[in-house]
Chain A
Amino acid sequence: MTVLAPAPHRKRRTAPRARWAAGRVLIYAALAFWAFVCLFPIYWTVTTSFKSAVDVTQGHLIPWVDFQPDWKGFRSLGLSPDTILQTSTARAEFTSRFTNSVLASVGASLLALVLGSLAAYGLSRFRYKFAWMRNDDILFFFMSQLILPPVVLALPFLVLYKALALLDTTFGLILLYTLTVLPIVIWIMRDQFNSIPIELDEAAFVDGLSVWGAFLRIILPLAVPGMAAAFILSLVLCWNEYFFAALLTSTDAKTLPVMVASQTGSQGINWWSMAALSTAAIAPLVLVGIFLERYIVSGLTTGAGK
């Protein structure tokens, strides 16, 4: 360990403020720039839902300055102030699909979180051996579920779900979505558990807790940041899943992404409807993100092991 010499110490008293300030400016500039990059397309989507055809094709940017906002986009969905009290097929479609999307996404994410956290804890703490497969192989098995492009599972799943009478059911979708996000949950949670020192487990055993007791009461609360991250990611992936939703649902379990894709067709593109739908589709995710954001903030895993 080097001992600080007094001279550099003196030098630092005058320079650091300026350097610190310059660093701060750079940091905030970078943050602002990236925030702009993130927000602009979303701003564009939201404003497009208030545009009419001419405004869209001319690329007008700022409402009230470049163009007059109009409820057109939301009217086509039956969600504008003037249509909200009338019957609207489009709105009925939207609400039923929205509900189904919520059920399928939340259901699948929760199920994946439960199954995945358990498996991840096991893979993190214990050495398994099944036939020739050790922990790494088991992990690889889970990961390989992610790799196959969904399109080739289309026919097999159609046949399977027909046999199990799971076609057009939200439950069927939940099972499928859980399968697709489970590997991600396992990997994220495994890393999370790996970062929690084993001493905590041992301390719990000393206190007389069983393996499951230690897991549920001591370790799990510390893994909340990872769980929040895994939950948000699973939710987003399930919410926007398009392919299997288009294939396996008909009337009861249909979800939102297909309706968004339907806004283009043989008579052009209804930019305003698509933008309105996209805005409505992203809104709940944003709310979930805002709500869960503070759980990703840790502060709980620092200074562990006392």
Chain B
Amino acid sequence: MNQQEHDQHSLTRPNRRTVLKGAASAAALGTTGALGAFSNIALAQGNLRAQILQIPGIGKGAPTDADWQKVGELCLGPTKANVKEGEFKGVELSFMGLNNQNLHNLLFRGFLKPWEAYTGAKISWIDLAQADYNPRLQQAIATGTVDFDILEMGAPFEGDVCGKGLASEMPDWVKKQVDIDDYVDYLKPPVGTWNGKTYRITIDGDCHNFNYRTDVFSDATLAKAWKDAGNASEWGVPKTWQQVQAVTKFLKGKKIKGKDVYGYLDAPKPWGGFGFYFLGSRATAYAKHPDDKAWLFDVDTMKPRINNPAWVRAIQDVVDALPSEPADQLNADPNTTGFQQFLAGIGSMIPWWGDIGQVAKASDTSVIGDVVGFDILPGSDDVYNAKTGKWDKLASGPNHAPNCAYLGWGIYVMARVNGDEKKHKAAWSAAAHVGGKDLSLWTVMYPSGFQVHRTSHSNIDEWVAAGYDRKYITSYLNSQFSSYNHPNRAVEPRIPGIFQYYSIAEDELTKIFAGKVDAQTGANNIAAAWEKLTDQIGREKQIGLYKASLGV
């Protein structure tokens, strides 16, 4: 993991007046180009980052509107360097994004209010619930009713938007303002680009990590029972899926401190396509071979791999584990497993996006803040080789393949602003402000819906200074960055209609998990349906896009 050396000059806590004075003067010096001001700017920036992280303070309750506006105000520096005050007077922009639990768009409103005040532009907002997002986007595109200038969108949909020429290309000044090279490796091109052009300001990074209960795996009673059951290995956090299965079966019926304890939690219920990622997390270790870039489809033909032995084994794992999980697990979607179960104390292992780690301590939904640990997804003792059709045992040990699922949210500007130069600059300026480097540090530390995505987020000292517990945050950031930078990571294909594949698979999977059809037959059904879908979307183009998304 990268450790950026960072100069923390201030030994005394700077108060807001001195910081603002410093920032203002540094910015003023910056615009006049005085060379000697650079170190001042660095000092001001460092102080700025520490400053914004104290609003309102970790563990001091959920941030409010006023907090968002304060943070937005403090991070206006890069905008001020590129835009004159009042430059966009009279410009009206519309911003379409999510309203997820009063985050996302509501945060953006707070951040952008100072921007609006400074630049004179006005923004109107279109808020969508997560479930409506994709259909609305698709239908708007299909009927030509694109009525928004700026869009908050997930990377998987780039195929639908950028591929149809609906997005505006990122100007170079924006790339500099947001410091585009700061993104972690897996979020650099080809992600965010289409045909070589960059379209995306990344504000979020997504991958599945492994969340587990430290108290369960250090419990002496359970350790003894484990040994008594005849297991040779020590009782501890599983490192491979084979171990996860064994532990889950073992924990059935056991108790810890008088309460029932469960092992791994699966999410068998469909969740608008997102549920498929959870099967994916189980399967990538089996299906993603280090020598093969592809893991979901064959590269040259788009033939689905969903029914190859690796995936079928993963599906079978779920079927085998379900009897050892809570009785209503069939009705649990990932939302349930993450927030109603794991954070509420049920279950000892789940894969999820970084939200669990972000929320376990900083938000009030959780009761396990002190006993949760993080790691990259478990590996597998053997991995399936699609070319030879055999299971390989790697010389380097178990095969790990972190599932970089969904890739995260980004801000895009729509091509419809391209005709108007002022509007074009205004839209990109707003997008760049929201995607700013310092602002992003705040969003990944506080409940926002966004996770770490920049190398500059990996400075543990900054997190500790903000109020995070060192051990906790080291474990969490390690799990995230090790997944992002892993050489054998499985990255989400950004082909058009990818969520349709997931949705079809989810439907068929519920039948398998409910016992109506066996794993192999069900997987064959999914493969057949996927083939039909690929033909419907256009096979030749899909193959080309799949190759481009893999960087082949």
- Rounded to whole angstroms, the CA-CA distance of A254 and B144 in the bound complex is 20
- Residues of A69-90 at the interface with B, using a CB-CB cut-off of 8 Å, are 72, 76, 78, 83, 86-90
User: A268's closest neighbor in chain B, by CB?
Assistant: B339
- Over the window 270-306 of chain A, the binary record of Cβ atoms lying under 8 Å from chain B Cβ atoms (1 yes, 0 no) is 1001000000000000000000000000000000000
Is B436 part of the contact surface with A, judged by Cβ < 8 Å?
no
Instruction: Determine the chain A residues whose CB is within 8 A of the CB of B132 once the complex forms.
Output: 246-247, 258, 261
Whether the Cβ atoms of A267 and B364 lie closer than 8 Å is: no
Q: Which one of A93, A258, A268 lies within 8 Å of B365 (CB-CB)?
A: A268
Whether the Cβ atoms of B103 and A89 lie closer than 8 Å is: no
Instruction: Determine the chain A residues whose CB is within 8 A of the CB of B110 once the complex forms.
Output: 89
Whether the Cβ atoms of A267 and B447 lie closer than 8 Å is: yes
- Over the window 455-469 of chain B, the binary record of Cβ atoms lying under 8 Å from chain A Cβ atoms (1 yes, 0 no) is 000000000000000
Instruction: Determine the chain A residues whose CB is within 8 A of the CB of B366 once the complex forms.
Output: 53
- Rounded to whole angstroms, the CA-CA distance of A159 and B140 in the bound complex is 10
Is B177 part of the contact surface with A, judged by Cβ < 8 Å?
no
- Residues of B87-146 at the interface with A, using a CB-CB cut-off of 8 Å, are 94, 96, 98-104, 106, 109-110, 124-132, 135-136, 139-140, 142-145
- Secondary structure at the B interface, as helix, strand, loop or mixed, is mixed
Whether the Cβ atoms of A258 and B128 lie closer than 8 Å is: yes
Whether the Cβ atoms of A57 and B100 lie closer than 8 Å is: no
Is B338 part of the contact surface with A, judged by Cβ < 8 Å?
yes
Is B147 part of the contact surface with A, judged by Cβ < 8 Å?
yes
Whether the Cβ atoms of B359 and A268 lie closer than 8 Å is: yes
Whether the Cβ atoms of B147 and A267 lie closer than 8 Å is: no
Whether the Cβ atoms of B94 and A251 lie closer than 8 Å is: yes
Whether the Cβ atoms of B106 and A89 lie closer than 8 Å is: yes
Is A269 part of the contact surface with B, judged by Cβ < 8 Å?
yes
Q: Which one of A52, A54, A168, A246 lies within 8 Å of B129 (CB-CB)?
A: A246
Q: Which one of B127, B353, B447 lies within 8 Å of A254 (CB-CB)?
A: B127
Is A263 part of the contact surface with B, judged by Cβ < 8 Å?
yes
Whether the Cβ atoms of B340 and A57 lie closer than 8 Å is: yes
Q: Which one of A57, A159, A269 lies within 8 Å of B335 (CB-CB)?
A: A269
Whether the Cβ atoms of A87 and B66 lie closer than 8 Å is: yes
For the complex formed, measure the closest distance between the CB of A25 and the CB atoms of chain B, giving whole angstroms: 39
Say whether, besides A53-B366, A246-B132, A265-B449, A154 and B101 are in contact (CB < 8 Å).
no
Whether the Cβ atoms of B367 and A57 lie closer than 8 Å is: yes
Whether the Cβ atoms of B102 and A267 lie closer than 8 Å is: no
Say whether, besides A266-B100, A267-B355, A269-B339, A86 and B147 are in contact (CB < 8 Å).
no
Instruction: Determine the chain B residues whose CB is within 8 A of the CB of A88 once the complex forms.
Output: 64-65
User: B124's closest neighbor in chain A, by CB?
Assistant: A251
Say whether, besides A155-B143, A246-B136, A251-B124, A258 and B129 are in contact (CB < 8 Å).
yes
Is A113 part of the contact surface with B, judged by Cβ < 8 Å?
no
- Rounded to whole angstroms, the CA-CA distance of A246 and B128 in the bound complex is 7
- Over the window 340-362 of chain B, the binary record of Cβ atoms lying under 8 Å from chain A Cβ atoms (1 yes, 0 no) is 10011100000001010011000
- Rounded to whole angstroms, the CA-CA distance of A251 and B122 in the bound complex is 13
Is A158 part of the contact surface with B, judged by Cβ < 8 Å?
yes
User: B125's closest neighbor in chain A, by CB?
Assistant: A251
Whether the Cβ atoms of B344 and A57 lie closer than 8 Å is: yes
Whether the Cβ atoms of B147 and A168 lie closer than 8 Å is: yes
Is A250 part of the contact surface with B, judged by Cβ < 8 Å?
yes
Whether the Cβ atoms of A53 and B139 lie closer than 8 Å is: no
For the complex formed, measure the closest distance between the CB of B174 and the CB atoms of chain A, giving whole angstroms: 25
Q: Which of B64, B103, B106, B148 has the most CB of A within 10 A?
A: B64
Is B25 part of the contact surface with A, judged by Cβ < 8 Å?
no
For the complex formed, measure the closest distance between the CB of B380 and the CB atoms of chain A, giving whole angstroms: 27
Instruction: Determine the chain B residues whose CB is within 8 A of the CB of A87 once the complex forms.
Output: 65-66
Whether the Cβ atoms of B355 and A162 lie closer than 8 Å is: no
Q: How large is the interface on A (under 10, 10 to 19, 20 to 34, 35 or more residues)?
A: 35 or more
User: A162's closest neighbor in chain B, by CB?
Assistant: B145
User: B69's closest neighbor in chain A, by CB?
Assistant: A87
Whether the Cβ atoms of A266 and B124 lie closer than 8 Å is: no
Whether the Cβ atoms of A264 and B106 lie closer than 8 Å is: no
Say whether, besides A86-B65, A87-B65, A250-B94, A273 and B102 are in contact (CB < 8 Å).
yes
Instruction: Determine the chain B residues whose CB is within 8 A of the CB of A155 once the complex forms.
Output: 139, 142-143
Q: Which of A76, A158, A261, A268 has the most CB of B within 10 A?
A: A268
Say whether, besides A155-B139, A168-B147, A267 and B103 are in contact (CB < 8 Å).
yes
Is B308 part of the contact surface with A, judged by Cβ < 8 Å?
no
- Rounded to whole angstroms, the CA-CA distance of A250 and B148 in the bound complex is 9
For the complex formed, measure the closest distance between the CB of A248 and the CB atoms of chain B, giving whole angstroms: 10
User: B355's closest neighbor in chain A, by CB?
Assistant: A267
- Rounded to whole angstroms, the CA-CA distance of A76 and B62 in the bound complex is 9
Is B363 part of the contact surface with A, judged by Cβ < 8 Å?
yes
Is A259 part of the contact surface with B, judged by Cβ < 8 Å?
yes
For the complex formed, measure the closest distance between the CB of B258 and the CB atoms of chain A, giving whole angstroms: 15
Instruction: Determine the chain A residues whose CB is within 8 A of the CB of B128 once the complex forms.
Output: 246, 258, 262
Say whether, besides A86-B65, A158-B143, A268 and B335 are in contact (CB < 8 Å).
yes
Say whether, besides A87-B65, A89-B109, A265 and B142 are in contact (CB < 8 Å).
no
For the complex formed, measure the closest distance between the CB of A27 and the CB atoms of chain B, giving whole angstroms: 38
Whether the Cβ atoms of B65 and A267 lie closer than 8 Å is: no
Say whether, besides A247-B136, A265-B449, A167 and B145 are in contact (CB < 8 Å).
yes
- Rounded to whole angstroms, the CA-CA distance of A270 and B129 in the bound complex is 13
For the complex formed, measure the closest distance between the CB of B62 and the CB atoms of chain A, giving whole angstroms: 8
- Residues of A144-163 at the interface with B, using a CB-CB cut-off of 8 Å, are 154-155, 158-159, 162
For the complex formed, measure the closest distance between the CB of A251 and the CB atoms of chain B, giving whole angstroms: 4
- Rounded to whole angstroms, the CA-CA distance of A267 and B99 in the bound complex is 12
Whether the Cβ atoms of B335 and A264 lie closer than 8 Å is: yes
- Residues of A116-146 at the interface with B, using a CB-CB cut-off of 8 Å, are none
For the complex formed, measure the closest distance between the CB of B341 and the CB atoms of chain A, giving whole angstroms: 9
Whether the Cβ atoms of B65 and A89 lie closer than 8 Å is: yes
- Rounded to whole angstroms, the CA-CA distance of A275 and B101 in the bound complex is 12
Instruction: Determine the chain A residues whose CB is within 8 A of the CB of B145 once the complex forms.
Output: 158, 162, 167
- Residues of B32-46 at the interface with A, using a CB-CB cut-off of 8 Å, are none
Q: Which one of A254, A261, A267, A270 lies within 8 Å of B131 (CB-CB)?
A: A261
- Rounded to whole angstroms, the CA-CA distance of A86 and B69 in the bound complex is 13
Whether the Cβ atoms of A267 and B106 lie closer than 8 Å is: no
Instruction: Determine the chain B residues whose CB is within 8 A of the CB of A265 once the complex forms.
Output: 98, 100-101, 103-104, 129-130, 449
Instruction: Determine the chain A residues whose CB is within 8 A of the CB of B103 once the complex forms.
Output: 265, 267
Whether the Cβ atoms of B106 and A159 lie closer than 8 Å is: no
Q: Which one of B98, B101, B143, B340 lies within 8 Å of A263 (CB-CB)?
A: B101
For the complex formed, measure the closest distance between the CB of B75 and the CB atoms of chain A, giving whole angstroms: 18
- Rounded to whole angstroms, the CA-CA distance of A86 and B140 in the bound complex is 36
Whether the Cβ atoms of A250 and B335 lie closer than 8 Å is: no
Q: Which one of A76, A263, A264, A268 lies within 8 Å of B343 (CB-CB)?
A: A268
- Rounded to whole angstroms, the CA-CA distance of A6 and B114 in the bound complex is 92
Q: List 6 A-B contacts (CB under 8 A).
A: A76-B102, A87-B65, A158-B143, A158-B145, A250-B124, A263-B101
Closest 5 CB pairs of A and B: A265-B100, A268-B339, A262-B99, A57-B344, A261-B129
Instruction: Give chain B's interface residues, CB within 8 Å of chain A.
Output: 62, 64-66, 94, 96, 98-104, 106, 109-110, 124-132, 135-136, 139-140, 142-145, 147-148, 335, 338-340, 343-345, 353, 355, 358-359, 363-367, 447, 449
Instruction: Give chain A's interface residues, CB within 8 Å of chain B.
Output: 52-54, 57, 72, 76, 78, 83, 86-90, 93, 154-155, 158-159, 162, 167-168, 246-247, 250-251, 254, 258-259, 261-270, 273
List 18 additional contacts besides A262-B127, A268-B339; criterion CB under 8 Å: A53-B366, A57-B345, A78-B65, A87-B65, A87-B66, A90-B65, A90-B102, A250-B94, A254-B127, A261-B132, A262-B102, A262-B128, A265-B449, A266-B130, A266-B335, A267-B103, A268-B338, A270-B102
